Amino acid sequence: MQSTIVRGMRVKDRKSLIEPNYPKLSISRQCDVLQISQSSYYTSSKEPSLDDVLLMNCIDEIHTNFPGFGVRLINGRLRKRYNIKNGLKRTSSLMEKMKIKIPVKQYVEMHTVIYYKV
């Protein structure tokens, strides 16, 4: 019964149930009962750095003005307009964090028709 209740809860909510100073159950045992790993209990989510926040604001502004731009064009605009020099991988990962979809080019197959003079 308890395991189905625990499985329905998010890990974040289960982590909040752990009491570190509880004398009868160690943290290890509480993690076992709540079905989370000890490493996920001790690991905290990292807040983005100030540099990342400023860079994400610039990316958001560029994406708002030019929604069709992909990683390369946004990275080029960052270099030209804001004088920010960073790699494509960092720009791409920040865009993924911001849930910005990168446009995918779709190629349409063109058929050529050759007319012969008779």
**How does pLDDT run across 103-115, given as a tens digit for each residue?**
666 776 777 767 7
The residue ranking higher by pLDDT, 110 or 24, is 24
One DSSP character per residue, the chain reads -HHHHHHHS-HHHHHHH--TT-SSS-HHHHHHHTT--HHHHH--PPPPPHHHHHHHHHHHHHHHH-TT--HHHHHHHHHHHH-----HHHHHHHHHHTTPPPP---PPPPPP------
Domain parsing of the chain, residue ranges: 2-42, 50-97
Provide the whole-model pTM.
Answer: 0.56
